[in-house]
C-alpha cells in the first residue's frame, strides 16, 4: 500500500488555488532577477486532499492508538486546545504590533510564566525557547554566562549522567563546553563517588533528568545538588520527565537552578509529527537577569495592569525571533487552567500509577534491570527467556501487528536491549491491560515461532524498511528528482 508522490500525480496546467487579478497597475519586473522555472507539483484541490488524507492514514498517532513511547509523554491532546489557539484574536496577531493592541495575548503569556514558576518553584521564566533541546542550550548558556560574570572563567565542564538524553551532551557542546559523563550506580541513581571525583573548580554544573530516563527518582537528589553547589556549580534540570512531578514536588526544592519545560510533553500540546513544541526555561532569582528575552512583565499591578516587554539586564541574548511558539503557549495555558492545582497533581499520580501497574503486569516475563518503584515510565530488557535470537527491535515491530506503537528502543544506552515504556495518565486500565496481554503473548510467540517476530510487522502498510540503503552514498535519495 503505497501512495504516489505529489510530483508523480502532477500534471502541467492543474492548479488548486486561484488568486484574484491584480487591482493595481503592474510595475515593471527586473528581467535579470527572475527565475526560469519553478519545480513544484501541479495538482487539483481534490487530488491534494486525497493525497494528504491517505498519507495521514498511514500514520499511527495518539488519536488512533496507544503510543507508549518512553520519554516522549504521548498523552492525549485535548481538542479545545486546537480550537482556542485558532481564535483570530490569537492567530491573527503580528508579533511587532504595539503592546497596547496585544494586551490579551501578553496577559496570557504573563500568566503562563507565573503558572510555570509556581509549578517549578523557579521564579523567573522565559517562554522563548521552541523545544526541549532549545531550552537546554538556553539553560547551559545561562549557567555559563552567570559563572563567567563571577569571574570564574576556568569553568568549562558540564557533568552529564550516562542515562541522559542525547540532547544534553549535544547542547553542552553547542555552548562551547566539555562533557564529562557520570555513571549511574547499581540502583540507577547518579553514582555519588563518581560525582565527587569529577566535581572541581572547572565544573559549570550538572545536567540532571529527574526522574531519570530509567523512570527512577534519584534517591540522593538532594545530596547530588548540594554537592554540585558546594563545588561552585549550578544544577540544570531536564524537564522532559516533569509529568511525574506535577504537584508532587517542585524542582526548585530539589536544588535545581535552571529547568526547561516541554509543553508538548507535560502540558498536552500536540507533538505535531516532530514539533512544534515549546521549551520555556525557568531559573532562580539569581539567574533571572540572564534569561533570553524579551519576556512579559506586568506594570501598574495595583491600578491599571499593563503588560510590556523587557529584555533581562544581563541576558544571554535572543534564542529565537520574537517571543516563543505562541500558538503552543495558548494550548498549554488552556490545559493548566482546565486542570488547576489538584488536576495537575492527579495527572502525575495517575501517570505514575499507570506505569507501575503496567510494570506489574509484565515484570515476570520481561527482565527489569532496576527493581524499584518507577515514576511515570520504566525500562525493561527486550529479551525473552527461551528465545535467544529475539531482540527488543523484534518485540517492537511485532507490537505494531497488535495495533500499538512500540516503546522507545535501545535507550537509555545503559540498559541492554532497552524497551522504555511510558503509558501516560490519559490511558485507561483496559488499554494498559490490552498492551500487557500483547507483550505477554509476544513472549510466547518468541519462544514458539521466533520467525514471526523477526519478520514483523505483518499488518502494517509496509514491512521493515532498509535504513542502510537510505543513508548509503550510492543509494541515498533525499528528494524527488525526475527520471530517477
Partner 1 sequence: MPYIPNTDADRAAMLAAIGVERIEDLFHDVPEEVRFPELSLPEPLSELEIQQELLWLSEANADLNHMACFLGAGAYRHFIPSVVDQLISRGEFYTAYTPYQPEISQGTLQAIFEYQSMICGLTGMEVANASHYDGATAVAEAVIMALNVGRRRRKKVILSPTLHPQYRDVARTYTQGMGLTLVGDDDLGNGPEALAALCDGDTACIIVQNPDFLGQLYSPAELQALADAAHGYGALLVVVVDPISLGLFASPGDYGADVVVGEGQPLGNPISFGGPYLGFFATRKKYVRSMAGRIVGETVDTQGRRGFVLALSTREQHIRREKATSNICSNEALCALAAAVYLAAMGPRGLRQVAELCYHKAHYAASEIARLPGYELVGARPFFKEFVVRCPRPVDETLRYLLEEWAILGGYALGQDYPELEDCLLVCVTEMNSREEIQELVEALAELGQ
Q: What angle separates helix 167-174 from helix 132-149, to the nearest 10 degrees?
A: 40
Handedness of CA 89, 94, 99, 101 (dihedral sign): negative
Q: Which of residues 181-200 bind partner 1 (CB under 8 A)?
A: none
- CA-wise closest residue to 419 among 68, 132, 66: 68
Q: Any contact of residue 221 with partner 1 (CB under 8 A)?
A: yes
> Any idea which residue has 529475539 for its cell?
390
Which residue, 98 or 230, has its beta carbon nearer to partner 1? 98
Stretch of residues binding partner 1 (CB under 8 A), selected from 75-83, 192-200, 297-305, 441-449: 75-83
Confirm if 96 and 241 have CB atoms less than 8 A apart: no
Binding partner 1 (rule: CB under 8 A), the pick from 66, 68, 70, 75 is 75
* Minimum separation from the CB atom of position 159 to partner 1 (A): 12
Rounded distance between C-alpha atoms, residue 439 and residue 362, angstroms: 7
> Any idea which residue has 504590533 for its cell?
97
Which residue, 416 or 480, has its beta carbon nearer to partner 1? 480
Q: What is the dihedral of CA 313, 316, 321, 326, to 10 degrees?
A: -70
Per-residue three-class SS string for 303-360:
CCCEEEEECCCCCCCCCCCCCCCHHHHHHHHHHHHHHHHHHHHHHHHHHHHHHHHHHH
Which residue, 59 or 154, has its beta carbon nearer to partner 1? 59
Q: Any contact of residue 78 with partner 1 (CB under 8 A)?
A: yes
* Minimum separation from the CB atom of position 370 to partner 1 (A): 12
- CA-wise closest residue to 238 among 55, 412, 3, 452: 412
Which residue, 176 or 183, has its beta carbon nearer to partner 1? 176
Which residue, 62 or 439, has its beta carbon nearer to partner 1? 62
Stretch of residues binding partner 1 (CB under 8 A), selected from 52-60, 192-200, 230-238, 384-392: 52-60
Q: Which of residues 389-428 bind partner 1 (CB under 8 A)?
A: 396-397, 400, 405-406, 408-409, 411, 425-428
Q: Any contact of residue 241 with partner 1 (CB under 8 A)?
A: no
Q: Any contact of residue 305 with partner 1 (CB under 8 A)?
A: no
Residue 158: beta bridge partners? 179, 205
Phi, then psi, of 151 in degrees rounded to 5: 90, 10
* Minimum separation from the CB atom of position 396 to partner 1 (A): 7
Q: Which of residues 103-142 bind partner 1 (CB under 8 A)?
A: 103-105, 107-108, 115, 118-119, 121, 130-134, 136-137, 141
Distances (CA, A) of 289 to 57, 201, 333: 48, 23, 24
295: enclosing H helix or E strand: strand 295-299
* Minimum separation from the CB atom of position 270 to partner 1 (A): 5
Q: Any contact of residue 313 with partner 1 (CB under 8 A)?
A: no
Confirm if 284 and 257 have CB atoms less than 8 A apart: yes
Q: Any contact of residue 99 with partner 1 (CB under 8 A)?
A: no
Q: Which of residues 22-51 bind partner 1 (CB under 8 A)?
A: 22-27, 29-30, 32-35, 37-43, 45, 48-49, 51
Which residue, 108 or 415, has its beta carbon nearer to partner 1? 108
Q: Which of residues 460-479 bind partner 1 (CB under 8 A)?
A: 460-467, 469-471, 475-479
Binding partner 1 (rule: CB under 8 A), the pick from 183, 305, 340, 386 is 340
Q: Which of residues 2-21 bind partner 1 (CB under 8 A)?
A: 2-3, 5-7, 14-20
Rounded distance between C-alpha atoms, residue 366 and residue 415, angstroms: 13
Q: Which of residues 349-368 bind partner 1 (CB under 8 A)?
A: 349-350, 352-354, 356-357, 359-361
* Minimum separation from the CB atom of position 181 to partner 1 (A): 9
Binding partner 1 (rule: CB under 8 A), the pick from 152, 170, 229, 314 is 170
Count CB neighbours of 2 within 10 A: 8
> Any idea which residue has 515491530 for its cell?
397
Confirm if 419 and 407 have CB atoms less than 8 A apart: yes
Rounded distance between C-alpha atoms, residue 271 and residue 265, angstroms: 8
Amino acid at each position: 500500500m503505497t501512495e504516489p508522490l505529489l510530483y508523480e500525480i502532477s500534471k502541467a496546467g492543474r492548479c488548486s488555488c486561484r488568486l484574484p487579478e491584480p487591482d493595481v497597475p503592474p510595475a515593471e519586473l527586473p528581467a535579470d532577477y527572475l527565475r526560469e522555472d519553478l519545480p513544484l507539483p501541479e495538482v487539483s484541490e481534490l487530488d491534494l486532499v486525497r493525497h494528504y488524507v491517505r498519507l495521514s492514514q498511514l500514520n499511527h498517532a495518539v488519536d488512533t492508538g496507544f503510543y507508549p513511547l518512553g520519554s516522549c509523554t504521548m498523552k492525549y491532546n485535548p481538542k479545545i486546545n486546537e480550537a482556542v489557539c485558532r481564535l483570530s484574536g490569537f492567530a491573527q496577531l503580528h508579533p511587532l504590533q504595539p503592546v497596547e493592541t496585544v494586551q490579551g495575548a501578553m496577559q496570557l503569556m504573563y500568566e503562563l510564566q507565573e503558572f510555570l514558576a509556581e509549578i517549578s518553584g523557579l521564579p523567573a521564566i522565559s517562554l522563548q525557547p521552541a523545544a526541549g533541546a532549545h531550552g537546554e542550550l538556553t539553560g547551559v548558556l545561562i549557567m555559563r554566562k552567570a559563572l563567567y560574570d563571577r569571574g570564574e572563567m576556568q569553568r568549562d565542564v558540564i557533568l552529564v549522567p550516562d542515562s541522559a538524553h542525547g540532547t544534553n551532551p549535544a547542547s553542552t557542546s553547542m555552548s562551547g563546553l566539555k562533557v564529562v559523563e557520570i555513571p549511574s550506580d547499581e540502583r540507577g541513581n547518579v553514582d555519588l563517588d563518581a560525582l565527587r571525583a569529577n566535581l572541581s573548580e572547572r565544573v559549570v554544573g550538572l545536567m540532571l533528568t529527574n526522574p531519570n530516563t530509567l523512570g527512577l527518582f534519584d534517591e540522593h537528589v538532594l545530596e547530588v545538588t548540594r554537592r554540585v553547589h558546594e563545588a561552585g556549580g549550578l544544577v540544570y534540570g531536564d524537564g522532559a520527565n516533569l509529568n511525574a512531578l506535577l504537584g508532587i514536588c517542585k524542582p526548585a526544592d530539589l536544588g535545581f537552578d535552571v529547568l526547561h519545560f516541554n509543553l508538548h510533553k507535560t502540558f498536552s500540546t500536540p507533538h505535531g509529527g516532530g514539533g512544534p513544541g515549546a521549551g520555556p526555561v525557568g531559573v532562580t532569582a539569581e539567574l533571572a537577569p540572564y534569561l533570553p528575552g524579551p519576556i512579559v512583565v506586568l506594570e501598574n499591578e495595583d491600578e491599571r495592569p499593563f503588560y510590556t516587554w523587557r529584555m533581562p539586564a544581563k541576558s544571554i541574548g535572543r534564542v529565537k525571533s520574537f517571543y516563543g511558539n505562541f500558538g503552543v503557549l495558548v494550548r498549554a495555558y488552556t490545559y493548566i487552567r482546565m486542570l488547576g492545582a489538584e488536576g495537575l497533581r492527579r495527572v502525575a499520580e495517575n501517570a505514575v500509577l499507570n506505569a507501575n501497574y503496567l510494570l506489574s503486569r509484565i515484570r515476570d516475563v520481561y527482565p527489569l534491570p532496576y527493581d524499584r518503584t518507577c515514576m511515570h515510565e520504566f525500562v525493561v530488557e527486550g529479551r525473552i527467556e527461551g528465545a535467544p535470537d529475539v531482540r527488543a527491535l523484534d518485540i517492537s515491530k511485532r507490537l505494531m501487528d497488535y495495533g500499538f506503537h512500540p516503546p522507545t528502543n535501545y535507550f537509555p544506552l545503559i540498559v541492554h536491549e532497552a524497551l522504555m515504556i511510558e503509558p501516560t495518565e490519559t490511558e485507561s486500565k483496559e488499554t494498559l491491560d490490552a498492551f500487557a496481554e500483547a507483550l505477554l503473548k509476544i513472549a510466547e510467540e518468541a519462544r514458539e515461532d521466533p520467525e514471526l517476530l523477526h519478520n514483523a510487522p505483518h499488518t502494517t502498510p509496509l514491512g521493515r524498511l532498509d535504513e542502510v540503503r537510505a543513508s548509503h552514498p550510492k543509494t541515498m535519495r533525499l528528494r524527488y528528482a525526475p527520471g530517477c
